[in-house]
Amino acid sequence: MNPFLSVVGSLVLWVGGGLLVAGATIVGPRRLSRLRTELVPRLWSVRRALAGLGAVLLVSAIGRSSLQTVSELFGVQLTGLIYAVEGNFVAWVQATFVVPELTMYFAGIYVYGYVFLLAFPFVAYLVLPNVTTLNRLLVAYGLNYSIGLAVYTVVFAHGPRNVMPDTVTSLLFTYNPDIMALTSEVNEAANVFPSLHTSLSVTVATFAVLTRGEYPRWTPVALWLATSVVLATMYLGIHWLTDVIGGIALALGSVYLSYRIVDDDEKTDSEARGDPTAAGA
Mean pLDDT of the chain: 88
Does residue 262 or residue 269 have the better pLDDT?
Answer: 262
Position 274 confidence tier, pLDDT thresholds 50, 70, 90: low
Q: Calculate mean pLDDT across residues 209-217.
A: 95
Instruction: Quote the pLDDT of residue 224.
Output: 98
DSSP states along the chain: --HHHHHHHHHHHHHHHHHHHHIIIII-HHHHHTHHHHHHHHHHHTHHHHHHHHHHHHHHHHHHHHHHHHHHHHSEE-HHHHHHHHTTHHHHHHHHH--HHHHHHHHHIIIIIHHHHHHHHHHHHHTSSS-HHHHHHHHHHHHHHHHHHHHHHHEE---HHHH-TTT---HHHHH-TTHHHHHHHH--TT--SS-HHHHHHHHHHHHHHHTTTT-TTHHHHHHHHHHHHHHHHHHTTS--HHHHHHHHHHHHHHHHHHHHHHHHHHHHHHHHTT-TTTTT-
State the pLDDT at residue 180. 63
Residue 112: is its pLDDT beyond 90? Answer: yes
Instruction: Tell me what percent of the residues of the chain surpass a pLDDT of 90.
Output: 65
Q: What is the pLDDT of residue 171?
A: 85
* Every domain of the chain and the residues it spans: 3-268
**Model confidence band, residue 281 (pLDDT cutoffs 50, 70, 90):** very low
Q: What is the pLDDT of residue 279?
A: 45
Q: What is the pLDDT of residues 134-179, one digit of tens each?
A: 999 999 999 999 999 999 999 999 999 888 988 998 888 776 666 6
User: What confidence category does residue 280 fall into, taking pLDDT thresholds of 50, 70 and 90?
Assistant: very low
The pTM score is 0.90
| φ, ψ (nearest 5 deg) of residue 85 | -75, -50
